Amino acid sequence: MSSEPRERWGSRAGFLLAAVGSAVGLGNMWRFSYLTAENGGAAFVVLYLAMTALVGLPVMLAEFTIGRGAGRSPVAALVHFGGGVWRPLGILFVASGALILSYYSVIAGWTLRYGLDALVSGFGSDAAGRFDAIAFGPGAAAWHLGFMALTIFVVGSGVRTGIERTSIVLMPALFLILVGLAIYAWTRPGSAAGYAYYLQTDFREILSFDVLKDAASQAFFSLSLGMGAMLTYASYLGREDNLPSESVVVAGSDFLVAFVAGLVVFPLIFALGLQQEVKDSTTGALFITLPHGFAEMGGVGRVVGFFFFAALVVGALTSAISLLEVVVATAIDELGWTRHKAVLVAGVAIALLGLPSSLDGNVLGAVDKLSGNVFLIFGALALAVFTGWFMPDPEGEASVGTHGVRWFFLWRSLLRFVVPAVLAVVLFYAVPDTWTALAALFR
């Protein structure tokens, strides 16, 4: 056990902004927009919203309940409520956090680099060439290491002075920037086709398991679920918070940000006539198509582009700190390390782990699939089963701080039946896909 007393959030708003900061990130802007483009637009958005409400929300409440109830990081919290057999699940959470951060930081490094492009040189006309030149290689590795250093600095400053303060300052800024950009996109001639693509649903497209798989994995990735980030943040809460309402606020804000990001990306892309390019480039949608558009917009494009990438950097940073915090809090609780030692050792190890992803796009893609489509989904499934079937009195624990909510029974039933069933189907479709991506690396 650590000799330092356990930290606490300074205020309810501080916790909420930190949790929303964890949820809102590259997932809402980069991953959401390329998956929406890949899966046919509005139909995907509807399915993703359904997954967020039906499957994401119950799991988030489960993570909050376990984290606050135990007041410990994932491994100790699961052992607290379930005994030693659940230790491996906690360890899987920590491993997922480390793995996700290792490549997440590489993409975050790109956003830093593009932000700097906007300031220093403007966006060049050869957007695809620029992306190829900077995305992978020694330069990308250096930016990845720089971003990791920033993350290490914030987490090293502690829960209240580091994580909470950073989120309180940066999250409102991110909201304002995105809304401003959405209004700007709305004023562009030709944006109407973008709204149509994004918002007019063709429901025939919803009925495919492949789209379901992407929608579910996107919901969990975007809500930071299935690897203990929300659990760990909740472990710094007091007993007076109303967890069901906090879950709704966090999940609702996360969806809202993704939705508004779509209101920026799609109208702009259609206004600039770049829709074909988006369909062709998937993962590169944000990093090739938009800079291409910004370059054509001239001086205004530099300003708009700067704010756009600044928002991405903010989102990435507040998410990355939650990923690192899971590993750090575990090292503090399990090994009795000080925060400084834990941050340095974990941060440097994860930075090194990310080097292969910074050098090779296939590695990054495979690690993204493995962690997002398999580890997070499996983690969330196991957590739902744990809370629904094995944890003693989850309803009682979740209702502390509320006035007794009647639908706790519904929550428990979702965790027992609906969430495991949906996630088992998702895993069934995700595993072969991921296996192919991994096997290709070793060929």
| Least CB distance to ligand PHE at residue 297 (A) | 26
* Dihedral Cα 24, 316, 58, 213, nearest 10 deg: 100
Q: Which is nearer to ligand PHE, 269 or 312 (CB)?
A: 312
The crossing angle, in degrees rounded to 10, of helices 209-222 and 42-51 is 60
| Least CB distance to ligand PHE at residue 393 (A) | 27
| Least CB distance to ligand PHE at residue 169 (A) | 19
| Cα angle for residues 76, 80, 86 (degrees, 5° grid) | 70
Q: Which two tokens stand for residue 295?
A: 């370059």
| Least CB distance to ligand PHE at residue 26 (A) | 4
Looking at residue 104, its amino acid is: Y
Q: Which is nearer to ligand PHE, 35 or 76 (CB)?
A: 35
Q: Which is nearer to ligand PHE, 25 or 388 (CB)?
A: 25
DSSP letter string, 145-158: HHHHHHHHHHHHT-
Q: Which is nearer to ligand PHE, 191 or 373 (CB)?
A: 373
* DSSP 8-state secondary structure symbol assigned to residue 237: -
Q: Which is nearer to ligand PHE, 79 or 258 (CB)?
A: 258
Rounded CA gap, 14 and 95, in Å?
27
- Interface positions with ligand PHE (CB under 6 A): 22-23, 25-28, 100, 221-222, 224, 227, 229, 319, 322-323
- What's the farthest any 2 CA atoms get from each other in the chain? 61
Backbone Cα Rg of the chain: 21
Q: Which is nearer to ligand PHE, 249 or 400 (CB)?
A: 249
Q: Which is nearer to ligand PHE, 28 or 33 (CB)?
A: 28
* DSSP 8-state secondary structure symbol assigned to residue 3: S
| Least CB distance to ligand PHE at residue 187 (A) | 28
| Least CB distance to ligand PHE at residue 343 (A) | 17
Whether 185 contacts 263, CB under 8 Å: yes
Q: Which two tokens stand for residue 11?
A: 């205020």
Rounded CA gap, 113 and 118, in Å?
9
The position carrying tokens 């109830």 is 69
Residues 6+ apart with CB under 8 A from 426: 212, 213, 216, 217, 373, 377
Q: Which is nearer to ligand PHE, 22 or 358 (CB)?
A: 22
| Least CB distance to ligand PHE at residue 280 (A) | 24
| Least CB distance to ligand PHE at residue 60 (A) | 11
